[in-house]
Structure 1
Amino acid sequence: MELSRASKLLLSTLLLLITVGCTAMVASSPDALRDMIGRDHMAGGLGTTEPALKARLNSQIDAAAEALASKAVHGASDAELLEEMGTRIAAIDRDSLDTENAEKVASAFEAMLEPLGLYSSDGLLNTWMYGFDPA
């Protein structure tokens, strides 16, 4: 049985949509967020070499990731997820960190957005990092 050109095009389009949909489901999965837990979020490049500070920041970032994944599994809205993220990052004293460490913390929180299905922190990360949202 030979498929017409239109049938082949329709089938190709359907397969593409299914593939993109499956990829999007994986990308916005709380499991992808939980995969971040236990990593050294402060590793590489410039940043703290103080073991106690590094451990504390990694612990706070991991706790945030776990709390956000749990909320996502229980169907939290985008606003609820951002509120939790705001609470978690606000618990990290920005003024006590140098720029490199603060950037690493902000980057770790930014990396949590996609697995949560969020496209923006709505200025939350800029406000924590710089004291205002320049956007």
Structure 2
Amino acid sequence: MTKFEEFKNKEKFLIDDKLFYPGISDPTLKPILTEKINFVADDFRKLADKGIATEKEYQDVIKNGLDSFAEIYLQLDTEDRERVCSYFEELMDIVGLESSDGHLNNFMYGFDPSK
């Protein structure tokens, strides 16, 4: 469970040359985005604590978490949306989840190109 705490405690939306991320486009959004991502981390941790969470339960958390960005979605540029998705992927890696069931693609592109 320390992986969740480490994830929550790290500063987010900083410049990341490995991901070619230039940093948050609008610094006023940083605390809002960080809070939303950390809430999702809390939800992942709650499921992990159950010990018997299903892929579907994690995928529902992903969908609900991404839905929480709806009110500010249009304020995010492409790089910021990609960074949000990469944070979700980090959480998926912590629990060993391989698929978001298309939710990340829907968030990024408005549809799932695999369907």
The bucket for the TM-score relative to the shorter chain is 0.7 to 0.9
For residues 31 and 123 of structure 1, the distance between their equivalents in structure 2, rounded to whole angstroms, comes to 28
For residues 40 and 104 of structure 1, the distance between their equivalents in structure 2, rounded to whole angstroms, comes to 13
Q: Contact (CA 8 Å) 1:34, 1:69: kept in 2 or not?
A: no
Structure 2 counterparts to residues 43-54 of structure 1, below 5 A: 43-44=14-15, 45-48=21-24, 50-54=26-30
Q: Contact (CA 8 Å) 1:42, 1:48: kept in 2 or not?
A: yes
SS where residue 43 of structure 1 aligns?
coil
Q: State the aligned residue count.
A: 106
Q: TM-score, normalised to structure 1's length?
A: 0.71
Match of 1:82 in 2: 59
SS where residue 40 of structure 1 aligns?
coil
What do the CA deviations read for 1:89-110 (whole angstroms, capped 9, x no partner)? 1111233311111111111111
For residues 119 and 33 of structure 1, the distance between their equivalents in structure 2, rounded to whole angstroms, comes to 17
Match of 1:122 in 2: 101
Return the letter of the residue paired with 2:65.
R
- Give the superposition deviation at 1:49: 5.0
Match of 1:5 in 2: none
Q: Which runs of 5+ in 1 are unaligned?
A: 1-29
- Give the superposition deviation at 1:43: 0.7
Q: Which runs of 5+ in 2 are unaligned?
A: 16-20
**Structure exhibiting the larger radius of gyration computed from Cα positions:** 1
Structure 2 counterparts to residues 1-135 of structure 1, below 5 A: 30-44=1-15, 45-48=21-24, 50-74=26-50, 75-93=52-70, 94-135=73-114
Q: TM-score, normalised to structure 2's length?
A: 0.82
- Give the superposition deviation at 1:114: 1.3
- Give the superposition deviation at 1:127: 0.7
Return the letter of the residue paired with 1:73.
D
Alpha-carbon distance change, 49 to 123 in structure 1, aligned in 2, over 3 angstroms:
closer
